[in-house]
Amino acid sequence: NDKIGKGNIDGDFDSSTNHVAIIRKHPDGTVLSEEDVPDLVTMMGELAASSYSNNYQLRALIVATWFADGRPGEGKFFNMRTWKYDSGQNCLSGSWKDIKNCTEKKATMCNDHEHWETDPFDAFGDFWSTTNGLVRQAVGGRMGLKSKFAFPMCQKYTDKWTAGIISSTLRLLVPACQRRNVTGKSIRYGATTKLHEHEDITHPELLAVGGWAAADNSSHYTLDNIAMHMRPMRALAGYHNVKKAHVPPTLGAIGEGALPQMETLADKLYLCNLEEFKRGGHLRPLLRIVLATNIKNFNTKLASLGPDNVAVARLVQVAGGCGITLQRLKE
């Protein structure tokens, strides 16, 4: 494999722990025993269905860490001040802090190819709608320095706390016999392994996503190039052809006449006091994609989570207040 040995890609190896790599999805037809570690799709579905404290924010944090191919504590520093929605590449990009090397790299995210459980936009939508995740506390009439971090629950604690809460959450979702082998690093092990094994991902692309330094220092010139992230991003999202541009769900598919109603639904579903996400803000296109994703996945989530699930019930309630019936959501 020509991806091995050309850069420092083993800096996270810990011989004291037999880390199990968590993969996005086991191949169809895979028969798992009750002692096997489930895939990320299964685990995030169980997390969404659970009553764990902060379960929706945790799901968004874990899925973001997967797409960033990041270390488990780094999500604490994912700052929405750096976010951009690229309508050409159909992805969210932002700066991801590399704690170990005291640098920053780019993290990119797009819709999952087929599973709502590991879709970052579905995860952010559930987090924002169920816990007012886009409402931030102002201090003296002004937003504080920490107001734009994506995951508010992490801001009172250290990055080690963030790594710990990811590890403890994942361990709740695996068999007891595997818990000592599963940590937050299992996400990075799984994402990196996926990119290593993919025949259409080049070594420079792997380094750019993982944040490792190339032996020839070329990564200094490629880390912030969004084009270097497109094929790895699609691979982590489960697309079969990573060379082909992906197409996200859009509110336009509902019908042009419904767009004003959809804008009202976005305002009421994702309560927000951050100007970037309001109408005319540069992250409003992201909010529209998030809403389109939540609506697209509604039927599947209703069937798998049930009508009493907090995120499902919240969408039904707010949509009803906007004159959108349950039957129309299903359609």
Nearest-angstrom CA–CA distance, 65 and 189: 11
Element at 42 (helix H, strand E): helix 40-49
Q: Residue 297 in contact with residue 303, Cβ under 8 Å?
A: no
Tokens (6 digits) for 90: 């159909």
Tens digits of per-residue pLDDT, 264-298?
A: 999 999 999 999 999 999 999 999 999 999 999 99
Neighbouring residues of 101: CB distance < 8 A, sequence distance ≥ 6:
211, 213
Instruction: Report pTM.
Output: 0.92
Reply yes or no on whether the pLDDT at 216 is more than 70: no
Reply yes or no on whether the pLDDT at 59 is more than 50: yes
Q: What pLDDT sits at residue 331?
A: 76
Q: How far is CA 292 from CA 250, 265, 298, in A?
A: 5, 11, 10
Q: What pLDDT sits at residue 306?
A: 96
Segment 68-97 shows an average pLDDT of: 95
Cα torsion through 150, 239, 298, 132, rounded to 10: 0
Nearest-angstrom CA–CA distance, 62 and 172: 14
Q: Percentage of the chain with pLDDT > 90? A: 74
Nearest-angstrom CA–CA distance, 184 and 191: 12
Tens digits of per-residue pLDDT, 11-43?
A: 444 444 577 999 999 998 888 899 999 999 999
Residue entry with tokens 């080049």: 202
Tens digits of per-residue pLDDT, 217-250?
A: 655 565 567 889 999 999 999 999 999 999 999 9
SS3 content of the chain, % helix, strand, coil (to 5): 50, 10, 40
Tens digits of per-residue pLDDT, 304-321?
A: 999 999 999 999 999 999
| Angle separating helix axes 298-305 and 310-321, nearest 10 degrees | 130
